[in-house]
Amino acid sequence: MTHEEISNLRLASQKLHKTNAYSPEEIVRHLGAIQAQDYAMAKWAIGSRCDATEKEIEEAINSGKIIRTHILRPTWHLVAAEDIYWMLDLSGPQVKRIILAETKKYGCDEKEFDKINSAIEKILAGNNHLTREEIIKELNVKTFSGDYKLSPVLIMMYAELDGLVCNGKMKGKKMTYALLEERVPKPKNKLTKEEALAKLAQLYFESRGPATASDFSHWSGFSATICKSVINTISLQLNSFAIDNQQYWFGKNYSNPDNFRESIHFLAAFDEYLISYKNRESSILLEHQAKAFTKNGIFKPSIVENGKVIGTWKRTIKKDHVKIETDFFNQTEMNKKQLLFEGIKSFENYLETKIFIE
């Protein structure tokens, strides 16, 4: 297996190899969780993998089929409604520990957050969808330890990780919060931690493989020791191979690399195609990585040709069209650019508006 074959297999496992007739929620369910601090780009991460328009994806989120919340790591993700509870049960405690490590220094511990959550529950009860600013105004949260004031971001993040709230319906361009149980009924049965870890690992390698234990640890937020252990428990359900003393794991059902066609993709900022892995050499050359993402984790929208990132792009929304600007890593002839620009046609269909490329 070569690094080129790894990148091609990842295109297939991530549902990027060809246009899919899946619904938005099916794409999210397949990937398990899609990083979503950039909300507009997170929607395009779904749209680039299926035929849905932005409006259709927005409706799936507004209706609660897809949930936007903090999960796995201390950042936003989109998660299928049916997966929200077991993923929260599994990853919520470890992210809450990160928050509490900071707030306990100022006298805000679990008991204080429990009081705040009780107040939030009363504010949102009865399908009341409110913005963060509206909730914080009603809470009137006190100041801790002198001048330290508890961040509204941490307040709402902790409530999400506790399984109390998630995204509500959009209010114009502003996100709202709603009670999770009013959006998604709680399942009758709960997974054990071991069952949930095995399910998460299986989901990861089937939707993102070939990948290493280190990649899984990076994506899931769990330690390398835990990740290696859980891989051992599901190893018979996966395929594997070794390159440069690294073991790569992937699902049993996979496409043959020999069948891959030429492909161009204009991927979202923070797309799972790059962000899911600790080592990204198979998808982007080392000398180009600083042009595609920063050391502090800001990922630009990327242009991918046959599994390799060859440049970045950005979009500017105008009144009656969208302007696309491209930045290729290497000098590219105009006739080659015209072929590459074919990859942005799906974005035009997704937005349902005209696109002009500069």
Cα-based distances in Å from 64 to 74, 92, 169, 239: 21, 20, 8, 34
The residues near 114 (Cβ < 8 Å, ≥ 6 apart) are none
Query: Which one-letter DSSP state was computed for residue 160?
Result: H
- Using CB atoms within 10 Å of the CB of residue 206, give its burial: 0 to 12 exposed, 13 to 18 middle, 19+ buried: buried
Per-residue pLDDT of the chain (358 residues; tens, 9 = 90+): 888 889 999 999 999 987 678 999 999 999 999 999 999 999 999 999 999 999 999 999 999 999 999 999 999 999 999 999 999 999 999 999 999 999 998 889 999 999 999 999 999 999 999 999 999 999 988 777 777 888 999 999 999 999 999 999 999 989 999 999 999 999 999 999 999 999 999 999 999 999 999 999 999 999 999 999 999 999 999 999 999 899 999 998 876 656 677 889 999 999 999 999 999 999 999 999 999 999 888 999 999 999 999 999 999 999 889 999 999 999 887 788 888 888 898 999 999 999 998 7
Sheet holding 176-179, edge to edge: 130-131, 176-179, 165-167
Our CA angle for 243, 227, 24, nearest 5°, is 90
- What six digits make up the tokens of 66? 């897809």
Round to whole Å and give the CA distance between 347 and 352.
8
Contact 255, 12 (CB under 8 A): yes
Q: Give residue for tokens 């997966």.
A: 83
